[in-house]
Amino acid sequence: MVPYQNLYIYEISGEIPNSRRFFEKDYIGCWNEGEISFLFFSAPRDEEVQTFVNRKRMALLSRNVLDYSAWQAGEELKPFSVGNLVIAPPWEDSTVEEGETLVRLDPCVVFGTGYHPTTRSCLQALWKIYRMEWPKRVLDLGTGSGILALAAAKWGAEMVLAIDFNELAAETALRNVVLNEESERIAVRQGRAENFIGEEADLVCANVHFQVIESLLGKKAFYRKRWLILSGFFVKDADEIEKRLRESSVKVHEKIQERNWMTLVGLNER
């Protein structure tokens, strides 16, 4: 069965760091978007949230109730395969064939079910790279549910550093790392992608907003990685990113387009 029937979402003015200090019962987590925070609960907590807002002198901007499947764009989360991995929600009774590896993935309410075109394209790109080479250290920026970090670890990465600015995403990724017994190879940290690009890595996967990609393109350390998988942006923005890569002697190894989304795979041959 799915983890939640309904989601009770409270939109609050202001950022709420370390939100689990304030909420416990029925609490799923906090999603920060700039100066706005979204508190997710599995049951109505109107009085508790209003008390918190009054105490912190914030404002309750809206309250919404959504069916969990509606939050996931109406998609029923089912097992799917990429390479030799079978990625399945933990509430599904899944089996694998000989040579396949099962990855249990609970996306909670964050990005990274594996159904979005950018996630699918990044998974395809990762699989192709690991069939050619063996990147030992991977930096996964905007990890979301941790799906790309888990795939890299299962395909042979010795160490993966998974980063997300969002508190709830970092918590969700960590739970999935533990669920798949990959704590020794995958470390999860909360923070901005730009602050971690200097970490040593053979491969960087950045499935993030275009504005974050632009910021990463301005960092010298970004171009010292051998492989770059960049996604999360529209086709119209791809030419500018491709131009910036080539100006820094990074070869565009592959372009994967699905609908209006583009994924670029860069290779630094220096």
- pLDDT computed for residue 26 by the predictor: 94
Report in angstroms the alpha-carbon separations of 50 from 6, 16, 21, 64: 20, 14, 16, 14
Confidence of residue 17 (pLDDT cuts 50, 70, 90): confident
**Predicted confidence (pLDDT) at residue 30 exceeds the cutoff of 60:** yes
**At which residue do the structure tokens 């795979």 appear?**
265
**Predicted confidence (pLDDT) at residue 79 exceeds the cutoff of 60:** yes
Confidence of residue 52 (pLDDT cuts 50, 70, 90): very high
Condensed to tens digits (0 to 9), the pLDDT of residues 162-206 reads 999 999 999 999 999 999 999 999 999 999 999 999 999 999 999
- pLDDT computed for residue 71 by the predictor: 81
Distance between CA atoms of residues 204 and 95, nearest Å: 31
Tell me: domain 106-267, CATH 3.40.50.150, correct? yes
**Predicted confidence (pLDDT) at residue 72 exceeds the cutoff of 80:** no
- pLDDT computed for residue 130 by the predictor: 97
Distance between CA atoms of residues 30 and 181, nearest Å: 25
Confidence of residue 32 (pLDDT cuts 50, 70, 90): confident
Condensed to tens digits (0 to 9), the pLDDT of residues 125-175 reads 999 999 999 999 999 999 999 999 999 999 999 999 999 999 999 999 999
Strands of 6-13's sheet in order across? 27-33, 36-41, 6-13, 60-67
Condensed to tens digits (0 to 9), the pLDDT of residues 84-120 reads 999 999 988 888 889 999 999 999 999 888 889 999 9
**Predicted confidence (pLDDT) at residue 270 exceeds the cutoff of 80:** no
pTM of the model: 0.92
Residue 23: strand, helix, or coil: coil
CB 88 within 8 A of CB 114: no
**Predicted confidence (pLDDT) at residue 236 exceeds the cutoff of 60:** yes
Domain ranges of the chain: 6-71, 106-267
Q: How do beta strands 251-258 and 227-234 pair? A: unpaired
